[in-house]
C-alpha cells in the first residue's frame, strides 16, 4: 500500500467512524409552547438511518397514554423495517433523569425488527413501545437490551409495551436476555410490562431475567425478573417453537391470557434480600394475581406447569380452555401478609377458583387448596393418589382420573365442603388381583377404596 492509498484509507476510516458516532437527539419532553419531537415513517417511507439515537427527557410519568403514539419514532409504513441503531438515553442526572425511548409500530404489515444495542438503564427511565392495529415489534436475536440500573443498587428497569389488543411484541429465538454471566456484570433485560398487548416468545434464554447481586455482593446472586400484565385487561403471552422455563415472576395486575402452543414451566420463587440502606426488596417469583377479581385464561394445547410459588388475591380465577394446567406447588400460601407491587395486605384464605372447560387440571403436589372448582363436560381432573385437592365447592362433571396406583386404601382424593353433580367418567388403574374399586364415599367424603370382589 503506497502513501497516497494509505492516506485515503485512513481518511475513509475516520469518516466512517465519525459517521457511526453521529448522534440524533430526540427531545420527548412535554414543555409549554413546544411539542415533543416526532419522527414518522409513513407509507412510502423506509427507515435508513444509522445514527445513534439519543432520547432526551420524558413525556409523562405514565407510560400508557394515547399521546405516546405522537412522540419519538413511529412506524406506519406497512413494510418490514430493520433498525440497527444504538439507542441511548440522556445521562445527565438533573435534566435527563427520566429520559425514555419511545418507539411505535402501527398497521397491518408494519413490522419493526430491532437488532441494535438499547441502553435503557439510566435512573427512572421507562422505555416505551406502542403496538397497535396489528403492528409488530420484534427484538432480534442479535439485539442487546440493557435495562440494569447501576446507580440505584442495580435493579432492572423495564420496557413498557402498550397495545390495543392486536399489536404484537415478539422476541426472536436466540435473543439473550441475561448477559450478567451469573451476576458478574450489570447487563440484562430483566423486566417487560404489557397493557393489552400480545407477547410471543420462542425459547427460555429470551425471557426477561437478571441475576442480581444482593447489595452489590457478587457472592450472593438472586433473580430480579418479572413479566407483568397491567393497566388494561387483555394482554396475551404466546409460548411457541420450544418448551420454555420462566425463572422469574408472572404478575397479573389486570386479567390476561397464557397460550401454550408448546409447554411453559413457571419455576420462579419469591425472593427477598437486603438492598443496602433501601427498603428490603422482594422479587415476586412464580405466578401471582395481585389484585382482586382477576382472571387468567389458559389456552393452547401445551401445558402450563407451575413448579414455582403461587399467590392469589381474593376472587382470583383461572379458566382452563385448552391444554393442561399442572400444579407441583400448592395454590394456597400461608402468611401472605403484604404482597405484590402495590403492597396490598392479603389475608390468608383460599382465594383461587378454577374452571375447566375443555382442558385438564393435574394435581401433583401433596395438597392443593383452592376455593372452588367447576368442571364442564369435556374437562379432566387428573390427581395423584398421594395428593389431596380441597376447597369449598366442587361442581363435578367430565372425567376424574387417578395418575398412580395407591399402595394403601382408603385414599382421600377430594376434601370439599360441598360436592355437587357427578363425574361422567372415572379412570383408575386396575387394583391388585381379587380386589375392585369402591367409589361409594367419593361424593360424600372424597374417598375411594378397594374392596374384595
Q: State mean pLDDT over 124-137.
A: 91
pLDDT of residue 340: 62
Residue 18 has pLDDT above 60, yes or no: no
pLDDT of residue 58: 77
pLDDT of residue 342: 63
Distance of alpha carbon 289 from alpha carbon 316, whole angstroms: 7
Residue 213 has pLDDT above 70, yes or no: no
pLDDT of residue 123: 60
- For 185-222, b/e burial (b = at least 16 CB within 10 A) is ebbbbbbbbbbbbbbbbbbbbbbbbbbbbbeeeeeebb
pLDDT of residue 433: 77
- Report residue 402's pLDDT band, with 50, 70 and 90 as the boundaries: very high
Residue 108 has pLDDT above 90, yes or no: yes
pLDDT of residue 380: 98
Residues 89, 98 contacting (CB under 8 angstroms): no
Q: Minimal CA–CA distance to 235: which of 252, 210, 211?
A: 252
Residue with cell 444509522: 50
Residues 68, 102 contacting (CB under 8 angstroms): yes
Residue 306 has pLDDT above 90, yes or no: yes
Average pLDDT, the chain: 87
pLDDT (tens digit per residue) in 342-386: 666 666 678 999 999 999 999 999 999 999 999 999 999 999 999
- Report residue 435's pLDDT band, with 50, 70 and 90 as the boundaries: confident
pLDDT of residue 451: 85
Q: State mean pLDDT over 112-118.
A: 96
Q: Minimal CA–CA distance to 210: which of 267, 158, 173?
A: 158
* DSSP 8-state assignment for residue 274: E
pLDDT of residue 214: 62
Residue 12 has pLDDT above 90, yes or no: no
Q: What percent of the chain has pLDDT over 70?
A: 83
Q: State mean pLDDT over 132-157.
A: 85
Q: Minimal CA–CA distance to 342: which of 291, 413, 406, 276?
A: 291
What do you get for the CA distance between the two ends of the chain, in Å? 98
Who has greater pLDDT, 56 or 77?
77
Residue 4 has pLDDT above 70, yes or no: no
Residue 341 has pLDDT above 50, yes or no: yes
pLDDT of residue 10: 36
- Report residue 336's pLDDT band, with 50, 70 and 90 as the boundaries: low
**Cα–Cα distance list, 313 to 266, 291, 354 (Å):** 19, 5, 14
- Report residue 5's pLDDT band, with 50, 70 and 90 as the boundaries: very low
pLDDT of residue 126: 79
Distance of alpha carbon 398 from alpha carbon 385, whole angstroms: 19
Residue 95 has pLDDT above 60, yes or no: no
pLDDT of residue 437: 86
Who has greater pLDDT, 256 or 14?
256
Residue 7 has pLDDT above 80, yes or no: no
pLDDT of residue 417: 97
Q: Spell out the alpha helix ranges (H) of 139-297.
A: none
**Cα–Cα distance list, 366 to 239, 327, 406, 415 (Å):** 28, 10, 14, 13
Give this prediction's pTM. Answer: 0.91
* DSSP 8-state assignment for residue 35: P
pLDDT of residue 9: 43
pLDDT (tens digit per residue) in 222-271: 778 899 999 999 999 999 999 999 999 999 999 999 999 999 999 999 88
Who has greater pLDDT, 273 or 89?
89
Residue 187 has pLDDT above 70, yes or no: yes
pLDDT of residue 339: 63
Who has greater pLDDT, 279 or 3?
279
pLDDT of residue 172: 99
Who has greater pLDDT, 224 or 313?
313
Q: State mean pLDDT over 16-27.
A: 68
pLDDT of residue 16: 44
Amino acid at each position: 500500500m503506497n502513501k497516497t492509498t494509505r492516506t485515503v484509507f485512513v481518511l475513509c476510516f475516520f469518516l466512517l467512524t465519525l459517521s457511526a458516532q453521529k448522534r440524533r437527539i430526540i427531545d420527548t419532553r412535554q414543555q409549554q409552547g413546544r411539542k415533543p419531537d416526532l419522527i414518522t415513517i409513513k407509507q412510502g417511507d423506509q427507515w435508513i438511518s444509522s445514527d445513534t439515537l439519543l432520547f432526551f427527557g420524558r413525556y409523562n410519568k405514565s407510560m400508557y397514554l394515547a399521546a405516546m403514539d405522537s412522540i419519538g419514532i413511529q412506524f406506519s409504513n406497512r413494510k418490514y423495517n430493520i433498525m440497527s441503531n444504538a439507542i441511548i438515553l440522556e445521562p445527565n442526572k438533573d435534566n435527563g433523569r427520566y429520559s425514555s425511548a419511545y418507539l411505535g409500530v402501527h398497521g397491518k404489515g408494519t413490522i419493526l425488527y430491532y437488532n441494535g444495542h438499547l441502553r435503557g438503564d439510566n435512573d427512572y427511565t421507562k422505555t416505551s413501545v406502542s403496538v397497535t392495529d396489528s403492528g409488530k415489534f420484534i427484538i432480534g436475536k442479535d439485539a442487546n437490551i440493557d435495562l440494569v440500573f447501576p446507580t440505584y443498587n442495580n435493579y432492572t428497569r423495564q420496557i413498557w409495551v402498550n397495545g390495543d389488543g392486536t399489536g404484537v411484541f415478539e422476541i426472536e429465538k436466540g435473543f439473550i436476555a441475561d448477559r450478567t454471566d451469573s451476576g458478574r456484570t450489570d447487563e440484562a433485560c430483566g423486566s417487560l410490562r404489557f397493557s393489552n398487548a400480545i407477547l410471543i416468545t420462542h425459547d427460555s434464554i429470551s425471557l426477561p431475567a437478571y441475576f442480581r447481586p444482593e447489595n452489590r455482593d457478587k457472592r450472593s446472586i438472586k433473580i430480579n425478573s418479572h413479566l407483568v400484565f397491567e393497566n388494561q385487561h387483555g394482554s396475551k403471552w404466546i409460548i411457541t417453537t420450544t418448551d420454555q422455563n420462566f425463572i422469574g415472576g408472572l404478575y397479573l395486575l389486570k386479567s390476561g391470557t397464557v397460550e401454550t402452543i408448546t409447554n411453559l414451566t413457571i419455576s420462579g420463587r419469591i425472593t427477598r434480600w437486603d438492598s443496602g440502606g433501601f427498603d428490603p426488596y422482594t422479587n415476586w417469583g412464580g405466578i401471582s394475581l395481585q389484585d382482586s377479581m382477576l382472571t387468567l385464561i389458559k389456552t393452547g394445547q401445551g401445558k402450563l406447569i407451575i413448579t414455582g410459588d403461587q399467590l392469589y388475591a381474593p376472587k382470583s380465577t383461572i379458566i382452563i380452555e385448552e391444554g393442561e394446567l399442572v400444579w407441583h406447588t400448592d395454590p394456597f400460601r400461608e402468611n401472605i401478609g403484604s404482597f405484590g407491587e402495590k403492597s396490598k395486605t392479603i389475608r390468608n384464605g383460599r382465594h383461587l377458583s378454577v374452571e375447566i372447560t375443555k382442558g385438564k387440571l393435574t394435581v401433583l403436589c401433596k395438597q392443593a387448596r383452592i376455593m372452588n372448582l367447576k368442571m364442564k363436560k369435556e374437562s379432566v381432573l387428573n390427581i395423584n393418589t398421594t395428593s389431596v385437592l380441597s376447597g369449598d365447592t366442587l361442581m363435578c362433571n367430565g372425567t376424574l382420573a387417578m395418575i398412580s396406583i395407591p399402595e394403601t386404601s382408603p385414599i382421600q382424593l377430594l376434601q370439599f365442603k360441598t360436592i355437587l353433580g357427578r363425574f361422567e367418567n372415572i379412570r383408575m388403574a386396575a387394583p391388585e388381583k381379587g380386589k375392585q374399586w369402591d367409589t361409594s364415599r367419593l361424593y360424600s367424603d372424597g374417598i375411594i377404596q378397594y374392596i374384595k370382589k
